[in-house]
Amino acid sequence: MTALLIAGLGNPGADYARNRHNAGFMAVDVIHDSYDFGPWRSRFSGLISEGTLARRRTWLLKPMTYMNESGGSVGAAARYFKLPLSAVLVMHDEIDLAAAKIRAKTGGGDAGHNGLRSITATLGPDYRRVRIGVGHPGDKSRVHGHVLNNFSKADEDWLVPMLSAIAESAPLLAKDDLAGFMNKVALLLAPEKKERPDVPKKDGE
C-alpha cells in the first residue's frame, strides 16, 4: 500500500503554539503521541516523524516555514516519497466551520486559507483535507486577529475532546475512509445518550 503523509498546518515558535491557526499542528501532535511514531526530525523545512496507522506506513509533517509557505515543505516531502495526491492529507483550522466541527474532503478551494493556497500552488488542489472548525469572529475585519489569538480557557472544553477524537479516529484516514473518520469523530463527540430504563430481555437474549 502507498504510504500516507499527514501534514498539520501552523506557525512555528512558542508565541504561536496555542493560536487557533495552529489547530493542524495540535492535531498531528496528538496523533503522534497516541500511536507508534518515532521522534520528530528536521527535514523538508519542517519536522517529520515516521510511524504506522492501521498498518499503513505514515509520515506526520509540521512545516516550519510559517503558514504562508507551507507548500514548500509539504511539496518537498510528497515529491521525495513519490506520493500521489490521494496519499497527501492536510489538517488545518477552518473559520467557516463552527468550533469543534470537523469535515474531511478531497480537493476544493482554499477559502482564503494561506496555508492551503500555498500547498495548492505547489501540488494542485486534489489533496485531502481535514478541516478543523475554530469558528468565525463574525466580522471579516476580525478574522486575522481571531486565528492568531490563542484558544481561550473556555475553548479547552471542546478543543481537548476534539483533538482526542481526531487521534482516536485517525486509523480510518489511513484506510482512506474519510466518511468513516467524520462519523467516528461525531460519535465520539456526541453528548452521552440518556440511559434507557431497563427493559426485560426476551428469552434467548
- Other C-beta atoms closer than 10 Å to the C-beta of 117 total 17
Q: Which of 21, 92, 113, 146 is catalytic?
A: 21
Cell of 15: 508565541
Q: What is the DSSP string of 18-38?
A: TBGGGHHHHHHHHHHHHTTB-
77 vs 63: CA distance, rounded Å: 10
Per the annotation, the verdict on 21 as an active-site residue is yes
For the chain, how many helices (H) and strands (E)? 6, 7
- In SS3 terms, 84-116 reads as CHHHEEEEEEECCCCCCCEEEEECCCCCCCHHH
Q: What are phi and psi of 61, to 5 degrees?
A: -135, 135
SS3 55: coil
What is the torsional sign of CA 42, 25, 92, 85?
Answer: positive
Catalytic sites, residue numbers: 21
